[in-house]
Amino acid sequence: QKRYTITLLPGDGIGPEVISVAKEVLKLTGSLEGIEFGFQEMPVGGSALDLIGLPLPKETLSAAKQSDAVLLGAIGGYKWDNNEKHLKPETGLLQLREGLKVFANLRPASVLPQLVDASTLKKEIAEGVDLMVVRELTGGIYFGKPRGFSTNENGDEIGFNTEVYATYEIDRIARIAFETARKRCGKLCSVDKANVLEASMLWRKRVTAIASEYPDVELSHMYVDNAAMQLVRNPKQFDTIVTNNIFGDILSDEASMITGSIGMLPSASLGESGPGLFEPIHGSAPDIAGQDKANPLATVLSAAMLLRYGLGEENAAKRIEAAVLDALNRGFRTGDIHSAGNKLVGCKAMGDEVLKS
Amino acid sequence: QKRYTITLLPGDGIGPEVISVAKEVLKLTGSLEGIEFGFQEMPVGGSALDLIGLPLPKETLSAAKQSDAVLLGAIGGYKWDNNEKHLKPETGLLQLREGLKVFANLRPASVLPQLVDASTLKKEIAEGVDLMVVRELTGGIYFGKPRGFSTNENGDEIGFNTEVYATYEIDRIARIAFETARKRCGKLCSVDKANVLEASMLWRKRVTAIASEYPDVELSHMYVDNAAMQLVRNPKQFDTIVTNNIFGDILSDEASMITGSIGMLPSASLGESGPGLFEPIHGSAPDIAGQDKANPLATVLSAAMLLRYGLGEENAAKRIEAAVLDALNRGFRTGDIHSAGNKLVGCKAMGDEVLKS
Ligand SMILES: CC(C)[C@H](C(=O)O)[C@@H](O)C(=O)O
Ligand SMILES: CC(C)[C@H](C(=O)O)[C@@H](O)C(=O)O
């Protein structure tokens, strides 16, 4: 009997609801696959601020580090929006990523045939979209120093941040991206702003250098403004995209909206070793929190990524993915993906349908 | 008889073709409105590199500065893509923006009823989109110092840039944005990443402060990742968007693609005083350069913006815009916006149809 410890971080807003569904799904999957899970639930984000006064309590980080994988719900909410930086829920998430050293964020965006109508794009454009954004997650302008506030020579207040990448940071994310592309359709598009930014010029140089290790993967480069356009014009042209932290933040959200069902999209954040961090792409949706309206499937699919990438339990991952598809095929939909002719259910009921499958 | 000097900067790729059409349109409009134009054509970008060895020759900048307005075609091409930074065509454009101190870039993105089918978005989503991106153009990470290459404490090569905004830079672009929103539907959305970046926190603070001067404009704030999503989900929610240089680069391109007809979209770049810079949003399209296939309408509409914002010649501007609509209504389309039932024409012929209107 295999045994894994999973840290659950419900977080804020709809986080607790979707985590509770994912936990049940993991439990059942484990019992069917002969895996035992030990769960420990810890506070993070706004709820940790309210409870302990810090967005990432020490105990939460050390519990996460000692476990085999971490599953996060969502963080943030209006309540804490005007907090100072070190007391923002978001800061807790960034500290968690940094603390777990999960530099590679994998964000799949694919349009399921069952949900193609949910996209705002025309059917012929949306149909068959299946791409993966590999986002660098622990570097760049999110973490670069110097940063802060100051005054310039005219006595004017300034706010500043540093976009910085070192060769080793680019090399390691590039390798993950090439490996990912190799397992998919063998096409990698690296996105940067190398016509303007030095940090991007180094990015392009290193990605090009690493390409020689992967002769079977076809590498292309694209400027970020063009990538933002091409995702709207013809998202099917992309297989795997690799980009820096801030461009990845923007483009992966854009890509997820192109699928029309961001309530469906999971993500995995991985380091060289140690536990990975798995979370839905969507936010904490404070406006529907506690109303049993949230779509739990992104978190359930994040649990599947946790099994696949975090624990190497491919069969258990596939079982969850198949159960999600089955619930969709049987016509069950939460509000965000609902359309005429289907059965509208709440968060918990959607979870029950997955459990039945 | 009013007389204005216009600097024409054809640039690279399709630039010369589209500028030549816009010049004819300006000439005819001038003769109908009692305005005389003196044109001076100067090199910029890759063609200036080939001719003179610099992407922005001194003579070009000083001619531009001394004229009443500047109309640019497009710059860049594969040929110069691997040039060092100071010898990139793009660097010429950035030096031009800096030299003319045009800190406010206005980029309208609207879906014409005639062209709603050109959008990849569903008709009900695309129909009626009419937004304006006000992009800060001479600050932020494009120009921030320090920037460059270095080695870190481990001897690893690094590339770095500085995102920096001073209060006065934010205040002046915010005022332009509020003025713009006031003349439109009175709604301004400021886009930043204030949950992570100090430069964005100052941005949000100052935009909020300036809002008190414009009580009639409704201000909202949005994170850039969410904005990239919302543009796909429901672009009609936006009226005027104000954002920094790099986010504006990305979002305005995304917004322009949402209209489906980036060959139609003009832009204006304005400073406190001195000549404005007017250019189509599209690039130099080297693959169709010299083939008489380019859509000249974005440049023609940029000439209309030049008349309106650069010279205060509202009537002449309206005349051009009406002529463009008329040519479209009569069914003429270049390849990029062509659909069944319309008349496919080349760049020059499209110009002739506008001239007839
Ligand atoms: C909440 C925020 C700090 C975070 C980010 O910008 O990385 C989020 O947008 C994401 O993409 O996970
Ligand atoms: C060519 C490039 C330097 C430029 C920019 O990034 O500003 C272009 O993308 C634009 O948006 O005008």
What pLDDT, on the 0 to 100 scale, is given for residue A107?
A: 97
Annotated catalytic residue, options B50, B81, B117, B225: B225
pLDDT at position B39 over 90 = yes
Distance from CA of B231 to the nearest CA of A (A): 8
CA angle B255, A204, B45 (to 5 degrees): 65
pLDDT at position A64 over 90 = yes
Q: What is the pLDDT of residues B192-243, one digit of tens each?
A: 999 999 999 999 999 999 999 999 999 999 999 999 999 999 999 999 999 9
Task: Please report, in angstroms and rounded to a whole number, the separation of the first and last CA atoms in chain A.
Answer: 23
Ranges of beta strands (E only) in chain B are 2-11, 35-41, 69-74, 104-110, 130-136, 148-151, 157-166, 187-192, 218-223, 240-243, 266-270, 276-280, 332-333, 343-344
Q: Is B137 on the interface with A (CB under 8 A)?
A: no
pLDDT band per the 50, 70, 90 thresholds, residue B13? very high
pLDDT band per the 50, 70, 90 thresholds, residue A81? confident
Average pLDDT estimate for A141-169: 97
Distance A314 CA to ligand 2 centre (A): 44
B202/A149 CB distance under 8 A:
yes
Q: Is B163 on the interface with A (CB under 8 A)?
A: yes
Task: Kindly list the residues from chain A whose CB atom is less than 8 angstroms away from the CB atom of residue B252.
Answer: 225
Task: Please state the separation of Cα A87 from the chain's center in Å.
Answer: 22
pLDDT band per the 50, 70, 90 thresholds, residue A180? very high
Residue A184: phi and psi, rounded to 5, are -105, -125
Percent of chain B with pLDDT strictly greater than 70: 100
Percent of chain A with pLDDT strictly greater than 90: 98
Distance from CA of A204 to the nearest CA of B (A): 11
* Sequence-distant (≥ 6) Cβ neighbours of residue A90 within 8 angstroms: A45, A55, A75, A76, B195, B196
pLDDT band per the 50, 70, 90 thresholds, residue B55? very high
B233/A142 CB distance under 8 A:
no
CA–CA separation, A281 and A189 (whole Å): 21
| Nearest protein Cα to ligand 1, atom 10 | A249
Nearest to B217 by CA among B240, B190, B186: B186
Task: Kindly list the residues from chain A whose CB atom is less than 8 angstroms away from the CB atom of residue B90.
Answer: 195-196
- Indicate if A249 belongs to the active site: yes
Give the count of beta carbons closer than 10 Å to the beta carbon of residue B321.
Answer: 17
Q: Is A125 on the interface with B (CB under 8 A)?
A: yes
What pLDDT, on the 0 to 100 scale, is given for residue A72?
A: 98
Q: Which atom of ligand 1 is found nearest the CA of A137?
A: 7
Q: What is the pLDDT of residues B286-312, one digit of tens each?
A: 999 999 999 999 999 999 999 999 999
Q: Which is it for the CA torsion B132, B138, B141, B142, positive or negative?
A: positive
B254/A232 CB distance under 8 A:
yes
Pocket of ligand 2 (CB under 6 A): A 195-196, 225; B 76, 90, 93-94, 249
A200/B159 CB distance under 8 A:
yes
Percent of chain B with pLDDT strictly greater than 90: 98
Nearest to A257 by CA among A156, A120, A132, A87: A120
Q: Which of A93, A121, A123, A158 should we substitute to test contact with B (largest number of B Cβ atoms within 10 Å)?
A: A158
Task: Kindly list the residues from chain B whose CB atom is less than 8 angstroms away from the CB atom of residue A258.
Answer: 232
Q: Which residue in this structure is represented by tokens 């936006």? A: B238
B160/A147 CB distance under 8 A:
no
Q: What is the pLDDT of residues A93-113, one digit of tens each?
A: 999 999 999 999 999 999 999
Q: Is B128 on the interface with A (CB under 8 A)?
A: no
Residue A63 in tokens: 């519990």
Collapsing DSSP states into helix, strand and coil, what is residue A229? helix
Task: Kindly list the residues from chain A whose CB atom is less than 8 angstroms away from the CB atom of residue B159.
Answer: 164-165, 197-203
Nearest to A15 by CA among A344, A355, A335, A294: A294
Q: Which of B96, B197, B234 should we substitute to test contact with A (largest number of A Cβ atoms within 10 Å)?
A: B197
Pocket of ligand 1 (CB under 6 A): A 76, 90, 93-94, 249; B 195-196, 225
Among the bound ligands, name the one nearest to the CA of residue B81: 2
Q: What is the pTM of this model?
A: 0.96
- Indicate if A142 belongs to the active site: yes
pLDDT band per the 50, 70, 90 thresholds, residue A1? confident
| Nearest protein Cα to ligand 2, atom 10 | B249
Task: Kindly list the residues from chain A whose CB atom is less than 8 angstroms away from the CB atom of residue B164.
Answer: 158-161
Average pLDDT estimate for A236-242: 98
Residue A155 in tokens: 């006595």
Polymer length in residues for chain A: 357
Residue B354 in tokens: 């506008």
Average pLDDT estimate for A301-327: 98
| Nearest protein Cα to ligand 1, atom 7 | A249
- Indicate if B253 belongs to the active site: yes
Name A277's bridge partners: A70, A269
- Indicate if B192 belongs to the active site: no
- Single-letter code of the amino acid located at A181: A
Average pLDDT estimate for A297-324: 98
Task: Kindly list the residues from chain A whose CB atom is less than 8 angstroms away from the CB atom of residue B250.
Answer: 224-225, 228, 247, 250
What pLDDT, on the 0 to 100 scale, is given for residue B81?
A: 87
Q: What is the pLDDT of residues B143-164, one digit of tens each?
A: 999 999 999 999 999 999 999 9
Q: Which of A80, A83, A246, A252 should we substitute to test contact with B (largest number of B Cβ atoms within 10 Å)?
A: A246
What pLDDT, on the 0 to 100 scale, is given for residue A261?
A: 85
- How big is the A-B interface in CB pairs under 8 Å? 183
CA–CA separation, A294 and B261 (whole Å): 36
- Indicate if B225 belongs to the active site: yes
Closest-CA residue of chain A to B170 = A158
Task: Kindly list the residues from chain A whose CB atom is less than 8 angstroms away from the CB atom of residue B165.
Answer: 158-160
Average pLDDT estimate for B251-266: 94
Contact status, residue A106 vs residue A132, Cβ threshold 8 Å: yes
Q: Is A152 on the interface with B (CB under 8 A)?
A: yes
Burial of B102 (0-12, 13-18, 19+ CB in 10 A): buried
pLDDT band per the 50, 70, 90 thresholds, residue B261? confident
Put simply, the chain A residues between 206 and 265 with a CB less than 8 A from any chain B CB are 224-226, 228-234, 246-247, 249-254, 256-258, 262
Q: Is A78 on the interface with B (CB under 8 A)?
A: no
Q: Which atom of ligand 2 is found nearest the CA of B137?
A: 7
Annotated catalytic residue, options A4, A193, A239, A336: A193
pLDDT band per the 50, 70, 90 thresholds, residue A125? very high
Put simply, the chain A residues between 25 and 44 with a CB less than 8 A from any chain B CB are none
Q: What is the pLDDT of residues B104-150, one digit of tens each?
A: 999 999 999 999 999 999 999 999 999 999 999 999 999 999 999 99
pLDDT band per the 50, 70, 90 thresholds, residue A192? very high
Q: What is the pLDDT of residues A20-32, one digit of tens each?
A: 999 999 999 999 9
Count Cβ neighbours within 10 Å for each residue of A277-290 and write b for 16 or more, e otherwise.
bbbbbbbbbbebbe
